[in-house]
Structure 1
């Protein structure tokens, strides 16, 4: 299983687990997407889980403003989760 982290506007992060396109977004107690304030908060949430890969994707408002829904792999990178 992989962990996918997306940095969103306002210094917040969303997290999902899964493989490839089959992902499950982490949700709070009210079934809304759970937002995290930093990567350490995500690490604390998943402290007992092991992941094969951890991916971080950066989205910016600029992409949306110019009509680009996503730039393939341009702003996505694998991060070292064990540090």
Structure 2
């Protein structure tokens, strides 16, 4: 399984699990996206599972805040797990 960690302002991390070209967001028992406060807490959540690749996706509103055209592509980088 691969993880795609989406980083948002305010120390909010949301996780998408990817298996066999299918993605789903990790949700709690009420079907709300499960929020993490750090990458360490995500690691702890998945410590018992086999993870193949982990990607960090950073969304930024900086360009829009400065009056520039929005950069459509977020920054995506692999993480050592």
- Per-residue deviation, residues 10-36 of structure 1 (Å, max 9, x unmatched): 111000111486211000121100110
Alignment TM-score, normalising by the size of structure 1: 0.80
Alignment TM-score, normalising by the size of structure 2: 0.82
* Pairwise CA RMSD: 2.2
* 1:1-83 paired onto structure 2 within 5 Å: 1-19=1-19, 22-62=22-62, 66=68, 68=70, 70-71=72-73, 75-81=75-81
* Higher alpha-carbon Rg: 2
SS of residue paired to 1:16: strand
Higher strand share: 2
Q: How many aligned positions are there?
A: 79
Question: Which ranges of structure 1 fall in alignment gaps of 5 or more residues?
Answer: none
